[in-house]
Amino acid sequence: MPVVYGRVALIGLGLIASSMSHAMRAWGLAGEIVGHARTEETRRIAAEIGLCDRVFETAAEAVQGADLVVLCVPVGAMASVAEEIAPHLKPGATVTDVGSVKQAVIDAVAPHIPEGVHFIPGHPLAGTEHSGPRSGFATLFRNRWCLLVPSEGVPAEAVARLRSLWEGMGANVEEMDAAHHDLVLAVTSHTPHLIAYTMVGVADDLRRVTDSEVIKYSAAGFRDFTRIAASDPTMWRDVFLTNKDATLEILGRFTEELFALQRAIRRGDGDHLHAYFTRTRAIRRGIIEAGQDTDAPDFGRMKASR
Ligand code: NAP
C-alpha cells in the first residue's frame, strides 16, 4: 500500500497507539513513526520493543515536522497535550485523536489548533480490556468502524487522506457529528461498561459473604462482565466525566426498563420476560450478521481479531 503520511507522531503509547503503529508498519502506511508517552517507563518499553522509529521525552519535540499527529491519551489529558504541542505543529499538518468522547475533545483541543493546521477528531470503535505499549496488535481495527468528526472548513483532501489511513489499517470509516457520536456511544459502549462495572462491584460485595464462590462458579455471563470491567480505570473515569449528559440520559432509560423487568419478575409475568428476551436475542443475531462479532462464547475477540 502507498505511504499515506510521511511522518506520523503518536502522542500517548498505549493500546490504540501501539495498534496503530503495528498496523501502519504492517501495511506500509507511514514513512516514519515517532512517539511520546508521559512516563519514562512507557517510553523505555516503547524504545525496547521498537514501537516507534524514535521516542521523544516531550510531546512538543515529537510533533515537530509531523504530517499527522494522533492524540492517543485519555480524554481528560487532551487539553494539556494540545496546548503543549500547538506552537510546534507543522503548517499543513493534520491533528486527529482517538478519544472515546468527541464533543469534550473538540472543546478541549480545537481552541489550541493554529491556523493552517487541520483538526479532524476521530474514534476507532475497537479495543480490548488491555492497555499499555505492549498490548497493541496490527489487526485491532480490521473490520471495525472508525468515526471521523471533521471540523467545519477542514479541506476535503485532508479528510480523505485520514480516511485512507484508517481504511489502510482495515477499518470502515464513517463521518458523524459530535453530539450524535456521543449519544450513540453512550448506548453502545459507555453505559454497558458502567453496568459491567456495577455488576462486578455487586458480585465483589457478595464474595465477602460467600467467600470465593463468585469466582469459583463464575458462569459465562459474569465472566464477560469481568472482562469489560477490567478496562483501564483512567480512560473510563474520563469517559463518564466528559460524556455526562448522554450517559445520564441512557442510564435513565436503562433504569426504567430495569424497573419494568423487576416488576415482571415480582408478578410472575413470564410473557413479558419472554417477549423482552426474544427481542434482545434478535439484536445479538444482527450484530453477528453485520460481522461486528463472532458467535464464539468468549466473544471471539482474541482468537478472531489477531
Ligand atoms: P492506554 O493503553 O491506557 O494508554 C494511554 C497512553 O496515554 C499511555 O501511553 C499514557 O502514558 C498516556 N497518557 C496518560 N495520561 C497522560 C497525560 N496526562 N499526558 C500525556 N500522556 C498521557 O490507553 P488506550 O486504550 O490506548 O486509550 C487511549 C485513547 O483511546 C483514550 O482517549 C481512549 O478513550 C481511546 N480509546 C480507547 C479504546 C479502548 O478500548 N482502550 C477504544 C477506542 C478509543 P503513560 O503510559 O506514560 O502513563
Alpha carbon nearest to ligand 1 atom 38, residue? 127
CA 293 to chain centre: 16
Q: How far apart are CA 259 and CA 252, in angstroms?
A: 11
228 lines ligand 1 (CB under 6 A): no
Which has the closest alpha carbon to 16: 141, 101, 105? 141
Q: How far apart are CA 169 and CA 293, in angstroms?
A: 18
Q: How far apart are CA 164 and CA 173, in angstroms?
A: 9
75 lines ligand 1 (CB under 6 A): yes
CB 108 within 8 A of CB 94: no
42 lines ligand 1 (CB under 6 A): yes
15 lines ligand 1 (CB under 6 A): yes
Alpha carbon nearest to ligand 1 atom 4, residue? 14
SS3 content of the chain, % helix, strand, coil (to 5): 55, 10, 35
In this structure, what C-alpha cell is assigned to residue 262? 423487576
CA 240 to chain centre: 13
CA-based end-to-end distance of the chain: 20
* Range 80-85 contact pairs with CB under 8 angstroms and sequence separation of 24 or more: 81/11, 81/12, 82/108, 82/109, 82/112, 82/113, 83/112, 84/58, 84/59, 84/60, 85/11, 85/59, 85/60, 85/112
76 lines ligand 1 (CB under 6 A): no
271 Cα: distance to centroid of ligand 1 (angstroms): 45
Q: Which atom of ligand 1 is nearest to the CA of 105?
A: 32
CB 9 within 8 A of CB 91: no
pLDDT of residue 306: 39
pLDDT of residue 301: 44
For the chain, domains (ranges, CATH) are: 5-176 (3.40.50.720), 180-268 (1.10.3660.10)
464477560: which residue's cell?
A: 224
15 Cα: distance to centroid of ligand 1 (angstroms): 7
Q: Which atom of ligand 1 is nearest to the CA of 76?
A: 18
CA 268 to chain centre: 40
124 lines ligand 1 (CB under 6 A): yes
85 lines ligand 1 (CB under 6 A): no
176 Cα: distance to centroid of ligand 1 (angstroms): 23
Q: Which atom of ligand 1 is nearest to the CA of 127?
A: 40
| E-assigned strand segments in the chain | 5-11, 30-36, 54-56, 68-71, 94-97, 118-119, 122-124, 145-148, 172-175
Q: How many CB atoms lie within 10 A of CB 225?
A: 21
CA 288 to chain centre: 20
76 Cα: distance to centroid of ligand 1 (angstroms): 10
97 lines ligand 1 (CB under 6 A): no
> Which of 10, 11, 15, 55 has most ligand 1 atoms within 8 Å of CB, for mutation?
15
pLDDT of residue 296: 67
276 Cα: distance to centroid of ligand 1 (angstroms): 37
DSSP state of 187: I
Query: What is the value of pTM for the model shown?
Result: 0.91
Q: 143 exposed, middle or buried (CB, 10 Å; 0-12, 13-18, 19+)? A: middle
74 lines ligand 1 (CB under 6 A): yes
For the chain of 306 residues, list the mean pLDDT of each consecutive stretch of 10: 95 98 98 98 98 98 98 98 98 98 98 97 95 98 97 94 98 97 96 93 75 69 86 95 96 95 98 95 85 64 42
Q: How far apart are CA 124 and CA 129, in angstroms?
A: 15
207 lines ligand 1 (CB under 6 A): no
